[in-house]
Amino acid sequence: MPVLPLRVLVLEDHHFQRTIAVNLLKQLGCDTVLAAANGAQALRTLHEVGPVDIVLCDLHMEGMDGLEFLQRAKNAGLVRSVIINSSLTEDVRRAARKLVPLLGGVLLGDVSKPLEINAIEPLLRHYLKEASTYQNVSACSIAIGAEDVRLAMAHQQMETYFQPKVDLRSGDVTGVEALARWNHPFSGLVSPAVFMPAVESCNLLNELFFAQLEDGMKLQREALKRGCFLNVAFNVQPIQLTNVTWALEVKSRLASHGLSGAGLTFELAENGLMEASSACLENLVRLRMLGCRLSIDDFGVGFCSLQRLCQLPFNEIKLDGEFVRTLDREPYCRAVVVSTLALGKALGMTVVVKGIEAQRQHEQLLDLGCTQGQGFLFALPMSCEPLLDWIEARSK
């Protein structure tokens, strides 16, 4: 088996379970596998040998429990991502899955005991695929400030990558989502998690967005030359829509490129809908009047009320990938997918499912009636030319 370039720490207080996990990770080819019986020992180990890519972490332990360890390790920059491995009840683990990101961690997944190879291997592959699209956030030591971001934009270092959305039945590409990447001259492709806080704090969201919009429209025009109509989706935050002329600027850009609003989708995270002001609503209505689609992103993990959902002019629901990762072993995930599909049908809204990474997930979603999806199973984010070549090759 090929070596996986991964450093993994197993934090497990039960000797037998710890031995199983270590042997399984070595069997999968992980380059370095460390082990600790408690949180304090794990911290000492990481301070001695340096950070790990993944910690396979039990939660309930004597002394320093898994949650305290994760908080301390993350604050010290010693852990890049987390896989929960616990025998706690599902409701407690579900709450812990919500807590890990709040502690500053990246949650790869949640697997039950005893650990099984078919549960852990897809999560390791996911980490490697994600890492392949940009440098690991923890590995990037550059300090990001307003001037850095402005210079990056001025020198066209901010690039737009596109991840396809597909018809789950036919495999046809139904659109793409535009994603920002910083092609740093020294650090390579840098994740938005590194530079977006600076973009937001320096009020550069619109500058970045309209640069992405230009890239998306150029992609559309090139796709049309190749006989392909391509809808492009962009992530937008409510604060951008507080300027009542925002949608009018979009209209102007469409006119200058000779394109229709039907080729654009704007995605707003569900949490953001709580902040939607009258100016925001006005812009959303104008976008719909232009023929653009509006999508509620990360649906199911935010706090938007159904009343708010019905008040706003959306025509797409994008279900968060969390509900797909454990679809085959957690009944509540299946119930959420089924309920969201029913809600979408009742409201006349398309439902797109994110985070599809395995063929089994694809098959299960088809069985449930899902028709639109996105995820690494189909394609990683790509720049313009590779994307067009990929689409062209699929259509032959």
187 and 307: one domain? yes
Q: pLDDT tens for residues 248-297? A: 999 999 999 999 999 999 999 876 666 667 888 899 999 999 999 999 98
pLDDT for 320: 86
pLDDT for res 284: 92
Q: Are residues 178 and 92 in the same domain?
A: no
Q: What is the pLDDT of residue 138?
A: 40
- Is the confidence at residue 134, as pLDDT, over 50? no
Over residues 309-313, the mean pLDDT reads: 80
pLDDT of residue 3: 64
Residue 142 has pLDDT above 70, yes or no: no
Q: Which one of 110, 133, 156 terminates a domain?
A: 133
pLDDT in tens, 214-242: 999 999 999 999 999 999 999 998 889 98
Q: How far apart are CA 58 and CA 11, in angstroms?
A: 6
Instruction: Report the percent of the chain where pLDDT is more than 70.
Output: 92
- Ranges assigned E (strand) in 59-171: 79-86, 107-112, 158-167
384: containing domain = 142-394
Q: Averaged over 40-55, what is the pLDDT?
A: 89
Q: For residues 102 and 160, state if they share a domain.
A: no
Tell me the DSSP string of 29-69: TEEEEEEESSHHHHHHHHHHH--EEEEEE-S--SSS-HHHH
Give the pLDDT confidence score for residue 9 in this predicted structure.
94
pTM for the whole thing?
Answer: 0.70
Of 133, 156, 181, the position where a domain reaches its end is 133
> Looking at residue 139, what is its pLDDT?
41
Count: domains in the chain: 2
Q: Indicate which CATH number applies to the domain containing 282.
A: 3.20.20.450
User: Tell me, what's the pLDDT at 140?
Assistant: 45
Q: Are residues 109 and 235 in the same domain?
A: no
CATH of the domain at 102: 3.40.50.2300
